[in-house]
Amino acid sequence: MGIDDPSWWGWGDSAHTPVLPDAVLKLLTDGLGVREGPGHPGSMSELELAPPRLGRQAASALAEVVGQEWALDDHETRIRHVRGKSTIDLLRLRLGDVASAPDMVLLPSSHEDVLELLRICSERRVAVVPFGGGTSVVGGLEPDSSGFAGVVALDLRRMNALLELDEVSRLAVLEPGLRGPQAEALLAARDYTIGHFPQSFEYASLGGFAATRSSGQASAGYGRFDEVVQSLRVATPVGTLETGRAPRSAAGPDLRQLILGSEGALGVITSLTVRVRPVPQERVYDGWGLPSFSAGLEGVRKLAQDGPLPAVLRLSDEAETALNLARPAELGQGASGCLAILGFEGTSESVELERAAVAAVLASVGGEPEAGAGASWERERYRAPYLRDALLDAGALVETLETVAFWSALPGLYEAVSASLRDALGAQGTPAVVLCHVSHVYPAGASLYFRVACAQSYDPGAQWRRAKDAAGDASLAVGGSITHHHGVGIDHLPWYEREIGELGVGALRAVKAQLDPAGIMNPGVLLSRR
């Protein structure tokens, strides 16, 4: 499917996977009891795939829409479209488990192609998985296909154009298959940017950003992706849905919100109109040391509520700062207190004024500048998934989860989720290191992003599920949400249904029945099958 495809058993280009320092290896073995891992899997050609389930007539009808060249059922393509990039996804792939591979991968080139493919699949009861960058970490690419005649993945990479740039309104109309770097390159040629840079930026697609309510590292300055999206065009099995006619319209409920975060369960996003801004003249990243996580929370809350608010605002707790996972290039050197990362954008004059104002706020809570930390974070900000691959190779279980709450609930949420993870993994004989940082801030609250590392048990999938179940229960019990930007997928379904209640689930089922009456769209994702 192309040389730009990520590793089928890891993240991105495996050449970027780091060699772990001796200090980290010692921590893994002495502190966590990690033993030598299974290493890399064998060749993709050694994996056994079940024959495609699609009947000849259905396969021919689908291929006729996109052309035989773009209707693929070869061994490699099917494997490259199985599951996403969660730790459990990767561990299963490393063990050769490709049971949920799609029967065929279709690459449409237009909205009309997608409409016709969905019509055929609905008529023939073929499940459909919209596929962008394949970076889901919550099971969003592994539908429940029981009872269907087969499963096809709609890979949208051919839909990769900048369709329109309205410089008066500062809006760009883009196709969903564009990956983050592609979209930014097209816009940069016209001196504009979306400003959306999540950790998955190098591989995730614009359609995926919208379908999962993605949040970028500069969300404090640019907003979450659902705030950036102004309108959407969606292909559904029963026709086209257009949402977002004008900004802040009062013409009934905002139907964009049905699609944003819908994870392909209601239809396929075929174009997006997004807010763009001129490329800033200057981008500067600073690091600040804070005496404690509580002091850091007070500082970032002041900035979020009273300003000035930098484009990037992140805060690591004591454990994450000590292990320098906010600065992977210095992993293992240790630090004290907490580290905040701040990013400033604009003209040279505006950046310096904002840096000075932010410095005054952080100094008021005991903060001090930390030279080089901001630049180090900027260099390494897309490398954490590669560090995970190295730790998996070494035999560790490494995974993440995130949540969000109002500021008043945040300290209790932090303590409850941290304790639940340590207790659940410790009870299984695998004591864990639990790290956390504030990843996104708002006037009313903030998101907490947890990273967990421990030794793998004999069944790491079950091991992590027990821990994540406990964390989900703890989060809901103290006022947190089950997810801030990873989405629901299949992993978060039970907690999502508890969070929105029976009436909320019923309302979503009614919408799905209207837009997808045969239930072919990513079945079991976002909404459980009855």
DSSP states of 461-502: HHHHHHHHHHHHHHHHHTT--S-SSS--TTTTHHHHHHHHHH
Class of domain 282-380: alpha beta
The answer for residues whose C-beta is within 8 angstroms of residue 117's C-beta and 6 or more apart is: 62, 65, 66, 106, 108, 128, 152, 154
DSSP designation for 15 = G
Say what the pLDDT of residue 14 is: 84
Q: How far apart are CA 14 and CA 163, in angstroms?
A: 33
Paired sense of beta strands 104-106 and 151-155, if any: parallel
Give residue-wise pLDDT tens across range 497-515: 999 999 999 999 999 999 9
**Phi, psi angles (nearest 5°) of residue 369:** -60, 145
Residue keyed to tokens 């404690």: 292
Sheet holding 171-174, edge to edge: 162-166, 171-174, 268-275, 229-236, 239-243
Paired sense of beta strands 277-278 and 282-290, if any: unpaired
**Phi, psi angles (nearest 5°) of residue 271:** -160, 155
**HEC per residue, 350-399:** HHHHHHHHHHHHHHHCCCEECCCHHHHHHHHCCCHHHHHHHHHHHCEEEE
pLDDT band at 22 (very low <50, low <70, confident <90, very high): confident
Say what the pLDDT of residue 291 is: 96
Q: Is the pLDDT of residue 284 over 70?
A: yes
Across the range 285-295, mean pLDDT stands at 97
Say what the pLDDT of residue 37 is: 73
Q: How far apart are CA 201 and CA 311, in angstroms?
A: 17
Q: CA separation (Å) from 489 to 178, 387, 469?
A: 22, 24, 15
Say what the pLDDT of residue 1 is: 52
pLDDT band at 7 (very low <50, low <70, confident <90, very high): confident
Across the range 283-305, mean pLDDT stands at 97
Both tokens of 244, joined, read 């977002």
Say what the pLDDT of residue 331 is: 38
Nearest to 322 by CA among 339, 333, 335, 340: 335
Provide the 3-class DSSP secondary structure of residue 415. helix
Q: Is the pLDDT of residue 3 over 70?
A: no
Q: How far apart are CA 507 and CA 513, in angstroms?
A: 10
pLDDT band at 5 (very low <50, low <70, confident <90, very high): low
pLDDT band at 359 (very low <50, low <70, confident <90, very high): very high
Percent of the residues in the chain that have a pLDDT greater than 90, as a whole number: 88
Residue ranges in 125-205 assigned as alpha helix (H): 180-188
Paired sense of beta strands 445-455 and 338-346, if any: unpaired
Are 309 and 221 a contacting pair, CB within 8 Å? yes
The answer for residues whose C-beta is within 8 angstroms of residue 415's C-beta and 6 or more apart is: none
Are 433 and 453 a contacting pair, CB within 8 Å? yes
CATH of 14-125+133-155 among 3.40.720.10, 3.10.450.50, 1.10.1740.10, 3.30.43.10: 3.30.43.10
Q: How far apart are CA 200 and CA 194, in angstroms?
A: 15
Q: How far apart are CA 271 and CA 471, in angstroms?
A: 36
Both tokens of 43, joined, read 């060749």
Across the range 10-36, mean pLDDT stands at 88
Instruction: Give the count of beta carbons closer than 10 Å to the beta carbon of residue 70.
Output: 16
Q: pTM value?
A: 0.95
Angle at 238 between CA 498 and CA 226, to 5 degrees: 50
Residue keyed to tokens 């490709």: 98
143 preceded by a cis bond (ω within 30 of 0): no
Instruction: Give the count of beta carbons closer than 10 Å to the beta carbon of residue 427.
Output: 12
Q: For the ranges 10-19, 390-399, 446-455, 475-484, which has the lowest average pLDDT?
A: 10-19
Classify residue 423 by burial, with Cβ atoms within 10 Å: 0-12, 13-18, 19+.
middle
**Phi, psi angles (nearest 5°) of residue 217:** -65, -20
Both tokens of 179, joined, read 């990956």
Are 216 and 225 a contacting pair, CB within 8 Å? yes
Q: Is the pLDDT of residue 145 over 50?
A: yes
Give residue-wise pLDDT tens across range 391-448: 999 999 999 999 999 999 999 999 999 999 999 999 999 999 999 999 999 999 999 9
Are 429 and 484 a contacting pair, CB within 8 Å? no
Residue type, 228: V
Both tokens of 457, joined, read 């048990």
Q: Is the pLDDT of residue 390 over 80?
A: yes
Q: CA separation (Å) from 10 to 28, 208, 236, 469?
A: 20, 19, 32, 24
Say what the pLDDT of residue 119 is: 98
- The CATH architecture of the domain made up of 384-477 is 2-Layer Sandwich (3.30)
Across the range 454-479, mean pLDDT stands at 97
Are 323 and 332 a contacting pair, CB within 8 Å? yes
Are 328 and 384 a contacting pair, CB within 8 Å? yes
Provide the 3-class DSSP secondary structure of residue 240. strand
Domain boundaries, the chain: 14-125+133-155, 282-380, 384-477
Q: Is the pLDDT of residue 15 over 80?
A: yes
Residue keyed to tokens 């104002």: 357
Q: Is the pLDDT of residue 328 over 60?
A: no
